[in-house]
Structure 1
Amino acid sequence: MLELIRSVFESTEQLAVWGALTGSIGTVTGALSLYLRFRQQKRDQVKLKCEVNFDHEFHHGSNPRKKYKIVVRSIGRRPVTIDHAQYRLGPLAFPEKLQRWAKWRKGEWVRNVEPKTKSSLIEGTKIEIPIDAESISFEHVYKVKIVDQTGRFWPVSWPSRKKIQTITHYKELDNLAEENTRQKVTLHGFEFQKKFKLAIHWNPETGKKTPMKGRSFEFSSHKQYTDKVSVLKQEKIPIFLKTGTSDFDS
């Protein structure tokens, strides 16, 4: 009789352990399934990454041109169409600047800039919206947002005023153009974003001044820049104008 009771208790304990084990597995499986469904749903939604890029573009025979833009990338699986970029502006002086939130709600102190073309962005694609530095005062920009065609706002990673002054700093250092009946060469040097850049263009075919070939250099210090310019002006450019032999690639 005692052995029978003992076997019943052992069977009950085994069943209890087995029940607890299967229950734990079910709970973990359910939680994992819920997490995967939530993750899939998040991935299937619209998601944009909005950044700014401040750069300059070289063109031989002319000074570098500003090439400022907002880059909008789609990193979600659902297609989205960009309607416009919105700049929220305002004064810097106190207490006038405290009015900016009320003004923005009324649609004042706001400037909207539409992209050149409106197209649907799918995952992995991007669109670029130029920034007109002549008509937008960076000093008075508080926020920049991208607005899609559903009216949803996406914040742009806009730098602080102090950082903008650094990354948009531009100073021309050299501007040289020399030519004779057979050769032509131009040299442009400038300081930009705490770096020193140099571009030289020349006609590779003697006696034929177009098209031009170009080479650009970038230096981290002013001394490196001036050393390179000195070699070009005193040695390589005079030799090229005299003989047509170019050695500007190194």
Structure 2
Amino acid sequence: MTQTEILALWGAVTGTIGTIAGVLGLWLRFRQHGMDRPKLMCDSSFGFESPNRPTHKITIRSVGRRPVAIDQIKYFNIPRIWSHRLTKRFQHKKGRWVWGQSPKKAIKLGEGEKAEVSVSLPDSISITEIYKVVVVDQTGKEWPVKWVAISKLKKIAIEEILEEFSEENDKRVVSAIGHRLGIRYFIETKFNTKPGRTGVPCGRGFWFLDIKKYQEKLQNVKSIQATEFLSGESEEIQ
């Protein structure tokens, strides 16, 4: 191989290395720029602490390096008017069938920080009407929230009274309400003497994941424990 050929080969090698280094540097700068931008990951979860006390919430995580301030959360519900359903994107742009929830206190997230916001809807809107949710930052950018389908919301996010029971005599009163709270079942009992212990009804709640165990407990309360309490044989439902 001549000296000229060696120099040409060396030039090709160094040129290739330079090109690779340039592309790698460009990729690193692009990646760094992407990491320096704000970025939010938003999720949702659903549950109940007790009847009428849902714990549905939006969890917002900042995974970018630039701080992000949260302006509001927007809930998009399915229009109840049929013609509006066909043009729901247009309706939403006009501010129709959209509910905006402002945080109770200012939220500003740095890298790696998170915030939880309880889902808050007016009484006129059911959570099972919501099909899309976004978090809006201070620049107006909308970040999508992972939100379940409406068919699943009906199973995990709503409360339903399954059965009510109440009995009393001249001295005592006892009642029980069976609830479905999302995927769990809850029996709410109240029992008291008249006028009552310090005037405040006593009560106890029972949680169940299995509907059969829930039904067995409720039947026990109705047919056995309630009778014993009313007769004075017992002082509480347990």
Percent identity between matched residues is: 35
Using the TM superposition, give the Cα deviation of residue 64 of structure 1 relative to its aligned residue in structure 2, in angstroms: 6.4
The residue identity in structure 2 corresponding to 1:44 is D
**Over residues 9-45 of structure 1, what are the superposed CA-to-partner deviations in whole Å (9 max), with x where a residue is unaligned?**
5222222222222222212221111111111111111
Cα separation, 2, equivalents of 1:144 and 1:222: 32
**Over residues 146-188 of structure 1, what are the superposed CA-to-partner deviations in whole Å (9 max), with x where a residue is unaligned?**
1111111112222221111121144567999xxxxxxxxxx99
Cα separation, 2, equivalents of 1:131 and 1:21: 63
The residue identity in structure 1 corresponding to 2:64 is G
Alignment partner of 1:147 out of 124, 136, 150: 136
Greater C-alpha radius of gyration: 1
**Over residues 94-137 of structure 1, what are the superposed CA-to-partner deviations in whole Å (9 max), with x where a residue is unaligned?**
43312322222222332211000013211123242433373432
Cα separation, 2, equivalents of 1:15 and 1:189: 88
In the TM superposition, what are the counterparts of 1:28-177 in structure 2 within 5 Å? 28-58=20-50, 63=51, 65-92=53-80, 94-123=82-111, 124-132=113-121, 134-171=123-160
Match of 2:18 in 1: 26
Greater CA deviation, 102-111 or 156-165?
Answer: 102-111
RMSD: 4.3
Cα separation, 1, equivalents of 2:121 and 2:79: 19
* TM-score under structure 2 length normalisation: 0.68
Any gaps of 5 or more consecutive residues in structure 1? 1-8, 177-186, 201-213, 243-247
* TM-score under structure 1 length normalisation: 0.65
Cα separation, 1, equivalents of 2:58 and 2:124: 15
The answer to whether the 8 A contact 1:70-1:131 is kept is: no
Cα separation, 2, equivalents of 1:162 and 1:85: 22
Cα separation, 2, equivalents of 1:216 and 1:14: 86
Using the TM superposition, give the Cα deviation of residue 190 of structure 1 relative to its aligned residue in structure 2, in angstroms: 5.3
Any gaps of 5 or more consecutive residues in structure 2? 166-175, 190-203
